Amino acid sequence: MTGPSPIEQIVTAAEQVQKLPPSTARKQGRTLIGLAADLVEEHPEHADLAAAALKDSLGKDEILPQQPDKPK
């Protein structure tokens, strides 16, 4: 039995990033985008899928825009 596809791994990781505090999410989101770029470099035929997965998972104005953390 095979594991999840690289695209499924990106989507799963992006969903996990959404649950983090804003500053941590930004850092992890940048790491995730770098991993997606590596995937596209290795498998250019999946570029559209990787972009869609990132857009759907990270592009909800919750992570990518700069947000200050709430005071503790």
Longest pairwise C-alpha distance within the chain: 46
CA angle 43, 45, 48 (to 5 degrees): 110
Is 10:35 a contact under the CB 8 Å cutoff? yes
Q: What is the spatial distance between Cα 26 and Cα 70, in angstroms, rounded to a whole number?
A: 14
Query: 12-64, pLDDT tens digit by residue?
Result: 777 777 777 877 877 777 777 787 788 888 878 878 877 777 776 666 554 44
Q: How far apart are the first and last CA of the chain?
A: 46
Q: Which has the higher per-residue pLDDT, 66 or 43?
A: 43
What is the pTM assigned to this prediction? Answer: 0.54
Q: Which value, in Å, is the radius of gyration of the alpha carbons in the chain?
A: 13
